[in-house]
Chain A
């Protein structure tokens, strides 16, 4: 069993739809990262959170440490949001020794 599970693996949405991507993990962590990877390969850090909720523009990330679950929401989705979204966790005191989920491939159609 993977330590970090994401769902769904693939997601197709129409422009404007509200999108939710889920991440569950089995290890104790101090924080969780949400990352975005475009087809060219580069990865952008979207959020690092250890509790509650963070918002940046149309993106919202939530985490429930007790339930070991995090969600990434995209409001008013746009074709430029098409990318792979990855959650990653460092076990306690493990620095950047991240364990990555398998990613969610999102395509937003105009």
Chain B
């Protein structure tokens, strides 16, 4: 039990639609990061938020955006969905400086 929860666990969208994925961080964790994991691949870093500001971004286009709220919960938004966006989306939280990451179970997105 890591205390990091993600919703929804599974969802299906069609090309061009928009999706919002949610992450509730472990209590006391002020840093959240998001990762995309395509089937059979390792995770890829999307971005990281600290104190409600994005402070690191991977090689993902601007249609991937995020928010972090004062209670340290977080959202990942993806606009104009493409077939290649089909993947498992993972969030992970940590306390800044502590290093150890706590991952959620992921949200599996299928784009048709």
Contact = CB atoms under 8 A, between A and B. Distances in A.
Q: How large is the interface on B (under 10, 10 to 19, 20 to 34, 35 or more residues)?
A: 20 to 34
Contacts of A31: 99
A103 B31 contact: no
Contacts of B48: 95-97
A92 to B, nearest CB: 13
A33 B104 contact: no
Q: How large is the interface on A (under 10, 10 to 19, 20 to 34, 35 or more residues)?
A: 20 to 34
B103 A95 contact: no
A45 B101 contact: yes
A52 to B, nearest CB: 15
Contacts of A44: 2, 103
A96 B33 contact: yes
Interface stretch (B17-25, B38-46, B61-69, B71-79): B38-46
Interface of B: 2, 31, 33, 35, 37, 41-45, 48, 50, 55-56, 58, 88, 90, 92, 94, 96, 99-106, 108
Interface of A: 31, 33, 35, 40-45, 48, 86, 88, 94-103
